[in-house]
Chains A and B, each alone.
Chain A
């Protein structure tokens, strides 16, 4: 008899079938660079070009700062284990507000935005922010961290969101994706934030799986398809898009809680970026305002729809 020993057969792992990874952590520099590039592409020929160009510049500055930052130090083991055991998000947003390095990062971001072309209301808000007392800025950072943006100070909070996104993505990037656990329907497993949109991915090995995108820390996490990201219902889910268009961005509506979240079909258009294309598809938001559904996706650059 032959002494040849081939690989042991594993009937559970046939072909190329692989389970889609639960979470995709951001690479901060790449995340902001991709957004900036996508905003530039979307700006060409769009009615929304002035805002898209402004955000392209903002993301390019986020990229420059994120690329120069050192990696975040690892979080204490005890805290990670406690969060994981209780199925809580791994990043503590409260702790982020009190982080000693945050005021300097915010100041750096506000400084970097100085040469960005913007309309007077935005420029005035930026100037006011740069002159604001540290305590005042810290209070506004807490609003951003709580995802509760006061509608009478949207521009100030938009700039601070841009700064905090850098820190959140940096901290998320330092985590071990294998330690992430689902913390609840429509909640980011890294920072606990709501999704800004979700994407049906074309990633090799995960084709057709859906990933919700966090607008705060840039993490993408797997969510079952045909499910409301606001309430978790799988009944009464529909998809709306403008007629006569091979739409790759649709509104996923839920008849149970009457809310909707954008879904982007990256399997049909790999160029789609959840944050940039969320702003770029403002027309869908305006059309959805005439329906019985309310927007549940949270995008710090697109508030009020």
Chain B
């Protein structure tokens, strides 16, 4: 007995023609992935379309980014910056690793993560040692470091935002925005 609607109805030839037509074709994997726009604290939902599936051991190339219609914050809409996210991802000027422009130099050079983090820690420590306030005008003990600020990213989870806050406030940083406002 014929097992398909087409064969049973007597359209077997048409079915065979389609089969012959698609035989040389290959299927390509594409993916759609939810993410959060990295620009501001509104944290709009986006869907990232990629050609190739990394879960199947392939190289994935982002081909399109659009607003996520299911996301309660933006219901599929994006601002002009968010709408241009694909070019942000593929920008040749995008920062992909730590770089430093040394005093007196006119160009950036690549450094290792260890070197970058050591240098950041050194500069933070020096600045905090020089400017830290341990007490206010009334002599009450405070934990106040007003000469360094911190801006964190929008696309973080509550847990990441919590950790970020703890790190900044333990050091006494006053000028701080972890973009968990909205």
Contacts and interface: CB of A to CB of B under 8 A. Distances in A.
Given A48-B17, A121-B8, A122-B10, A242 B26 contact: yes
Given A240-B29, A242-B25, A243-B26, A286 B19 contact: yes
A301 B5 contact: yes
B9 A51 contact: yes
B10 A283 contact: no
B76 A209 contact: yes
Contacts of A209: 69-70, 76
Contacts, number: 138
Contacts of B21: 47, 283
Interface string B34-59: 10000000000001000001011000
B10 A120 contact: yes
Contacts of A49: 14
Interface residues of B, number: 43
Interface residues of B: mostly helix, strand, loop or mixed? mixed
A304 B3 contact: yes
B27 A208 contact: no
Interface size bucket, A side?
35 or more
A301 B8 CA distance: 11
Contacts of B6: 51, 282, 302, 304
A243 B27 contact: yes
Interface of A: 15, 17-20, 47-51, 54, 118-122, 125, 151-152, 154-155, 158, 206-210, 224-226, 236-244, 250-251, 255, 282-284, 286-288, 291, 301-305
Please name the 6 residue pairs, one residue from A and one from B, whose CB atoms are nearest each other, closest first: A119-B10, A304-B4, A208-B69, A47-B17, A121-B10, A154-B8
